[in-house]
Amino acid sequence: MREYENKYINSEKTAWDLRSILSDLAGSWWMILLVALSASLLTYSVISFTHEDRYTVSTTFTVSQGGGESNAVTNLSAAYEMAQKFSVILDNNILKKTVMEELGLDSFPATMNASIVQESNLMQLSVTADSPQHAYLILESVLRNYPTLSDYIIPNVVLQTLEQPQISGSPSNQLPVRQYMIYAFLAAAAVVAALIAVTSHLRDTVKNEQEFSQKVDAYLLGTIYHEKKKKRKSSMLITNPVRSFRYVEAYRMAASRIRGRMERKHAQILLVTSVAENEGKSTTASNLALALAQEQKKVLLVDCDFRRPALHKIFDVKDREMKDFSLVLQGKEKASGTFEKVQNLQLYTAFSKHSIENPSELISNGRLERLLRSCCKKMDYIILDSPPMGLAVDAEELIQIADAAVLSVRQDAVLTQDINDAIDALNQKEEKVIGCIFSNVYPPIGERLRQGAYGYEGYGKYSKADR
Same domain, 221 and 94: no
pLDDT the model gives residue 408? 95
- Predicted pLDDT of residue 466: 35
**Which stretch, 165-174, 319-328, 392-401, 450-459, has highest mean pLDDT?**
392-401
Q: Is residue 427 part of a domain?
A: yes
Determine the pLDDT at residue 67.
55
What confidence score (pLDDT) does residue 75 get?
A: 62
258 and 374 together in one domain: yes
pLDDT at 401 over 60: yes
How far is 435 from 261, CA to CA, in rounded Å? 9
- What integer best gives the mean pLDDT of the chain? 81
Closest CA to 121 of 92, 90, 78, 86: 78
Residue 381: inside a domain: yes
The rounded distance, in Å, linking the Cα atoms of 289 and 283 is 10
The residue type found at 156 is N
Q: What is the pLDDT of residue 221?
A: 96
For residue 127, what is the domain's CATH number? Answer: 3.30.70.1130
pTM: 0.66
Q: What is the pLDDT of residue 298?
A: 95
Dist CA 87 CA 98 (whole Å) = 16
Looking at the fold, whether 68 and 142 belong to one and the same domain comes out as yes
- Average pLDDT, stretch 208-236? 86
Least confident range of 15-19, 210-214, 259-263, 311-315: 15-19
pLDDT for 252: 96
452: pLDDT confidence band, cut at 50, 70 and 90?
very low
Q: Do 287 and 145 belong together in one domain?
A: no
pLDDT bucket at 447, cuts 50 / 70 / 90: low
Q: What is the pLDDT of residue 91?
A: 60
Which CATH number do you get for residue 382?
Answer: 3.40.50.300
Residue partners of 151: CB distance under 8 A and separation at least 6: none
Q: Could you report the per-residue pLDDT of 119-174, keeping only the tens digit for each?
A: 676 778 888 888 888 888 888 887 777 666 656 656 666 667 777 777 777 887 77
pLDDT at 59: 83
Q: At 85, is the pLDDT very low, low, confident or very high (cuts 50, 70, 90)?
A: low
Co-location of 114 and 143 in the same domain: yes
SS3 165: coil
- Among 37-46, 373-382, 442-451, where is mean pLDDT lowest? 442-451
Under the banding of pLDDT at 50, 70 and 90, the label for residue 248 is very high
Whether 386 is in a domain gets the answer: yes
Look at residue 188 and tell me if it is in a domain: yes
* Domain of residue 183, residue span: 14-51+175-200
pLDDT of residue 89: 63
Average pLDDT (41-47) is 91
Residue 440 and residue 449: Cα distance in Å, rounded? Answer: 18
pLDDT surpassing 50 at residue 460: no
Percent of the chain with pLDDT over 70: 79
At 146-157, the pLDDT tens digits run: 666 656 656 666
Q: Is-contact 157 65, C-beta < 8 A?
A: yes
Average pLDDT over residues 196-200: 83
Closest CA to 216 of 420, 435, 462: 420
461 vs 439, more confident: 439
The reply to whether 189 and 288 lie within a common domain is no
Would you say residue 2 lies in a domain? no
Quote the number of domains for the chain: 3
Answer yes or no: do 80 and 22 share one domain: no
Asked if 193 and 248 sit in the same domain, the reply is no
Identify the pLDDT of residue 148: 65
Residues 252 and 149 in one domain: no
Q: Based on the domain organization, do 110 and 132 belong to the same domain? A: yes
Distance CA 104, CA 85 (A): 26
DSSP codes joined into one string, 72-133: HHHHHHHHHHHHHHHHHHHHTTHHHHHHHHHHT-SS--EEEEEEEPTTSSEEEEEEEESSHH
Q: What H or E segment, with its residue span, contains residue 4?
A: helix 2-11
Same domain, 214 and 351: yes
Q: 353 falls in which pLDDT band (50, 70, 90)?
A: confident
Query: What's the mean pLDDT in 95-100?
Result: 78
Choose between 337 and 385: higher pLDDT: 385
The DSSP string of 48-68 is: HHH----EEEEEEEEEEE-SS
Is residue 9 a part of any domain in this protein?
no
Could you give the CA distance from residue 317 to residue 92 in angstroms, rounded to a whole number?
94
DSSP strand E in 323-421: where? Answer: 340-341, 347-350, 381-385, 404-410
Q: Which stretch, 74-83, 224-233, 346-355, has highest mean pLDDT?
A: 346-355
- pLDDT category, 433, cuts 50, 70, 90? very high
Q: How do beta strands 347-350 and 299-303 pair?
A: parallel
Read off φ and ψ for residue 222, nearest 5 degrees.
Answer: 180, 155
Q: Does residue 192 form part of some domain?
A: yes
| 3-state SS assignment for residue 426 | helix
| Stretch 229-239: mean pLDDT | 80
Same structural domain, 41 and 86: no
Residue 166 maps to a domain: no
pLDDT of residue 9: 39
Say if residues 435 and 261 touch (Cβ distance below 8 Å): yes
At 172, give phi and psi (nearest 5°): -80, -20
Q: Is the pLDDT of residue 423 over 80?
A: yes
